[in-house]
Amino acid sequence: MSNMRPVQIRLHSRYEGEDVLQEMKGEAVLKGSVLYVRYEEPQAGPEGGITRTTLKLGGQSLKIIRHGEVESEQTFEMNRKLPGFYRSPYMSFTLSTHTHKLDLSIQGLSARAAWSYDFYSFEEEAGHFEISLHIQEEPIS
């Protein structure tokens, strides 16, 4: 994608009482009303490789696409159970997400999102997640 601009990303997730906060640099571009954000995940994959993540935020949906050592796809839309997948060097499975809350606000290359969902692996409920995401365009120097 051309015309990508630098952004700061703050991702906070909560699962079964465990809080994880990730802060990373990425790049973003706005195409129509859809914001695309790309970044490299801060942790190495299971075999030390790189995983690149693309976030697609727009309308009333949010999609997370991961490529590299880990590959996965998850889509979140309010009150919908949607299919996805996960693949790594050690395992592969289908998944789905049933989103109970999705608040999304986009202003230029900055955005805020908060969502909660039930995670299903092999059609069995595997947990409940709460996520908040803050994307901030970096100022031009």
Residue 57 binned pLDDT confidence (cut-offs 50, 70, 90) = very high
Residue 122's pLDDT is what? 86
Mean pLDDT of the chain: 93
Residue 110 binned pLDDT confidence (cut-offs 50, 70, 90) = very high
Domain ranges of the chain: 5-137
Cα torsion angle, 65, 57, 33, 54, sign: negative
Residue 63 binned pLDDT confidence (cut-offs 50, 70, 90) = very high
**Mean pLDDT, to the nearest integer, of 44-71?**
92
User: What DSSP line would sit under 92-121, residue for residue?
Assistant: EEEEEEEEEEEEEEEETTEEEEEEEEEEEE
Residue 8 has pLDDT above 80, yes or no: yes
Tell which residue, 107, 100, 110, 111, has the closest CA to residue 77: 100
Percent of the chain surpassing pLDDT 90: 82
Residue 109's pLDDT is what? 94
In DSSP terms, which residues pair with 75 in a beta bridge? 63
Residue 46's pLDDT is what? 77
Q: Which CATH architecture has domain 5-137?
A: Beta Barrel (2.40)
**What pLDDT, in 10s, does the model give residues 19-56?**
999 999 999 999 999 999 999 988 877 788 899 999 99
Which carries the bigger pLDDT value, residue 138 or residue 62?
62
